[in-house]
Amino acid sequence: MAKSKTNWNTLIALLAIVVIAAIGLLTSFVPKISGAAEGNVSVTLAGAASITLTDSIVDFGTGTVTGDYAFLDSNSTSHENWTVTTQGSNGWPSQTDYIVIQNNGNVNVGIQIFASKTASDFIGSNAEQYFAGVDDSGACASGLARSYTTLTTTPTTLCGSLNWPPSPNSLRVAFKLKIPSTASTGPKTNTITFSAYQV
C-alpha cells in the first residue's frame, strides 16, 4: 500500500513538471508588445494671389493747353504746351507721381492693366493715354512694360511676374497724356483697374 502511494506522488510530481514546462513553452510563442507607434502631421499651403495699391491716384492738377497738344508725363517734372494753374494733389509737376502696386500675397503674380474709358471718352477726340512700369528695385522678375504703352479698355500685361515678400514686391506705374487744344474744359477722371493672376 505504501508503494502505491509513492507511485501516485511521483506521478503527481511528474504531471506538475509537465504542466510548468508546457506553460513555459506557450509563453515563448506569445508575441512581444511594443510601446512605440508612429503618426504623421501634414499640411498643404495654398497659393494666394493678392495685390493692393499703396498709392492709387495720379493727379495732373489743373492747367491750360497752350499749343495744338499738351503732353503730360507723371514720370517727369517737365511738360510741353501746358500752363499749370494748380499742382496735382501729389505735387505734380514739382515731383513725379505714380500709382503703386504691391504684391501682398504669397506667390509671384502677373499684372494686367486696363482703363474704364478710352482716351477719346476720357479727354476728347484725338487724345491719347499711355502707361509704363517703373521698377528700380527689381520687383518685376520678368515681362515689365518699361516703355510707354497705349492704355486701352482691354487688359494689357504690365508685369509678367511681380515678386512676393520678402523680395522687393512694389511696382510704380507712370502715366502719360496727350491732350488736344480742342478738349472740353472741366474735371476728367479715368478709372484704372489692375488684375493679378498666379504665375
- In whole angstroms, how far apart are CA 188 and each of 111, 121, 124, 129, 139? 25, 10, 10, 13, 31
pLDDT of residue 34: 62
Domain that holds residue 103: 51-198
pLDDT one digit per residue (tens) for the chain, 199 residues: 444 555 545 545 444 444 444 445 444 555 555 678 887 786 767 778 999 999 999 999 999 999 999 999 999 999 999 999 999 999 999 999 999 999 999 999 999 999 999 999 999 999 999 999 999 999 999 999 999 999 999 999 999 999 999 999 999 999 999 999 999 999 999 999 999 999 9
Position 73, amino acid: D
How many domains does the chain divide into? 1
In a domain, 45, yes or no: no
Q: Which helix (H) or strand (E) holds 7?
A: helix 2-27
pLDDT of residue 43: 72
In a domain, 16, yes or no: no
In a domain, 20, yes or no: no
In a domain, 71, yes or no: yes
In a domain, 187, yes or no: yes
pLDDT of residue 147: 97
Dihedral sign for Cα atoms in the order 80, 151, 75, 123: positive
Measured distance CA(31)–CA(164) in Å, rounded: 56
In a domain, 6, yes or no: no
In a domain, 26, yes or no: no
